[in-house]
């Protein structure tokens, strides 16, 4: 029997309007006097930073805002955020936004330690590091970054670097679905499919599957699956948005304590070489990977299918697993996202380089996949969705 070590936030609030109503009081609970909000300019424009600032100021907490985060945050941007937090001697760090803002905040919370650039701590043992109180307030329902202890940033050479340690797990996750009401349809779709993939890959991990992640993945997938079409068709349905947001948090806790696998492995090179957003990249390659995995993973996919497709209860494992993948394919096709690589200006000639990155850089994500994958098989999966 394999042991389990499991980490999650100490405090999760899932309530519409909770950022406005509770952020200031929560900051006081952590004895904060000066908070830095790490976000991007789009979130400032939407007025969400003003709401957070007001709540904090009403509780007597000073506020500094860093809103220069960009997608796939470069190390230089994260270093700037750290400098600002240091200059204002902030004692509370709040990540407000998508995964990039929250991932940046996770590193800013380490600023009281003695380092000049993140480059200095990338390979360091952070277990004895000090960490400031860290709150995460997601504005998308997808990455699960509010509940994960990994931060992915972009090095000077364009490669992705990950800091992975329970040290950077946010203390408080505030799930306020009002902040997701204005998400455009294509972002809603891509982030939701990312979260579904988190549930599926966590549940089928070859090396790190565990009972706690399983329970969260099953419930998370149910909430995401049952509300997916509704949030696409009626983006202002607050109840459906709240289910999606909590579902994506459960997915985040599940996968960070289990693992993701080959869907993420094939998706990362699409982001690196072609700047395809992470969730969209996963959506593009998920069905070929899951179909390839069927010989090993059909019983697990069938278990997932039986929680979300009532007819699957009367099917064999292979039938249920196949129906599950077919439904994911129709989710993608109905989402409005482009589902062919060629529609994104990727050609057959690009495939060998993409496949090389998977095998050379993301072997760890093949290792957790239910079935081994060769270089030739990676190329074949990309070709399937060309």
Q: Which residues pair with 53 in a beta bridge?
A: none
Closest CA relative to residue 250, chosen from 295, 294, 203: 203
User: Closest separation between CB of residue 144 and Fe ion, Å?
Assistant: 8
Place of tokens 């209860």: 313
Torsion angle defined by CA atoms of residues 285, 288, 290 and 292, in that order, rounded to the nearest 10 degrees: -140
Distance CA 62, CA 266 (A): 43
Which is closer to Fe ion, CB of 109 or CB of 193? 193
Which residue's CB comes closest to Fe ion?
Answer: 194
Footprint of Fe ion on residues 101-120 (CB under 5 A)? none
User: Closest separation between CB of residue 365 and Fe ion, Å?
Assistant: 11
User: Closest separation between CB of residue 264 and Fe ion, Å?
Assistant: 6
User: Closest separation between CB of residue 36 and Fe ion, Å?
Assistant: 26
* Binding-residue total with Fe ion (CB under 5 A): 1
Site track 172-201 with Fe ion (rule: CB under 5 A), x = hit: ----------------------x-------
Footprint of Fe ion on residues 306-365 (CB under 5 A)? none
Which is closer to Fe ion, CB of 133 or CB of 265? 265
Helix, strand, coil % over all residues of the chain, rounded to 5: 60, 10, 30
Joined together, the tokens standing for residue 217 give 């993945």
Site track 25-54 with Fe ion (rule: CB under 5 A), x = hit: ------------------------------
Which is closer to Fe ion, CB of 209 or CB of 306? 209
Q: Which residues pair with 152 in a beta bridge?
A: 162
Place of tokens 């090179």: 269
Which is closer to Fe ion, CB of 65 or CB of 187? 187
User: Closest separation between CB of residue 102 and Fe ion, Å?
Assistant: 13
Which is closer to Fe ion, CB of 280 or CB of 306? 280
With contact defined as beta carbons under 8 Å apart, do 283 and 190 qualify? yes
Which is closer to Fe ion, CB of 67 or CB of 194? 194
CB neighbours (10 Å) of residue 291?
16
Closest CA relative to residue 272, chosen from 263, 284, 281: 281
User: Closest separation between CB of residue 99 and Fe ion, Å?
Assistant: 8
CB neighbours (10 Å) of residue 3?
5
Q: Residues interacting with Fe ion, by CB under 5 A?
A: 194
């Amino acid at each position: 029997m394999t042991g389990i070590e499991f980490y999650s936030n100490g405090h999760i609030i899932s309530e519409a309007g909770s950022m406005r109503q509770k952020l200031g009081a929560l900051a006081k609970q952590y004895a904060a006097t000066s908070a830095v909000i790490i976000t991007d300019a789009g979130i400032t424009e939407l007025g969400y930073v003003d709401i957070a600032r007001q709540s904090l100021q009403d509780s007597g907490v000073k506020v500094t805002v860093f809103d220069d985060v960009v997608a796939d945050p470069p190390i230089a941007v994260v270093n700037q955020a750290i400098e600002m937090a240091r200059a204002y001697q902030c004692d509370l760090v709040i990540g407000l936004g998508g995964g990039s803002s929250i991932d940046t905040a996770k590193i800013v919370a380490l600023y009281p330690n003695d380092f000049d650039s993140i480059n200095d701590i990338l390979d360091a043992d952070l277990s004895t590091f000090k960490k400031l109180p860290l709150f995460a307030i997601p504005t998308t329902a997808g990455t699960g970054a509010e509940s994960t202890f990994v931060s992915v940033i972009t090095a000077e050479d364009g490669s992705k670097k990950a800091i992975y340690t329970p040290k950077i797990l946010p203390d408080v996750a505030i799930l306020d679905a009002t902040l997701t009401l204005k998400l455009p349809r294509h972002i809603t779709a891509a982030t939701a499919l990312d979260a579904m993939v988190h549930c599926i890959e966590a549940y089928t991990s070859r090396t790190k599957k565990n009972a706690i992640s399983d329970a969260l993945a099953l419930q998370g997938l149910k909430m995401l699956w049952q509300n997916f079409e509704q949030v696409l068709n009626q983006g202002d349905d607050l109840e459906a948005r709240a289910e999606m947001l909590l579902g994506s948090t459960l997915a985040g806790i599940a996968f960070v304590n289990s693992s993701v696998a080959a869907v993420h492995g094939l998706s990362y090179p699409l982001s690196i070489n072609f700047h395809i957003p992470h969730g969209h990249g996963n959506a593009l390659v998920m069905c070929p990977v899951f179909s390839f995995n069927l010989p090993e993973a059909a019983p697990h996919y069938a278990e997932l299918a039986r929680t979300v497709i009532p007819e699957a209860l009367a099917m064999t494992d292979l039938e249920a697993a196949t129906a599950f993948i077919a439904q994911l394919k129709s989710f993608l096709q109905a989402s409005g996202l482009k589902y062919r690589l060629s529609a994104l200006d990727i050609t057959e000639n690009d495939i060998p380089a993409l496949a090389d990155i998977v095998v050379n850089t993301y072997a760890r994500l093949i290792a957790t996949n239910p079935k081994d994958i060769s270089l030739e098989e990676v190329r074949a999966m990309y070709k399937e969705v060309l």
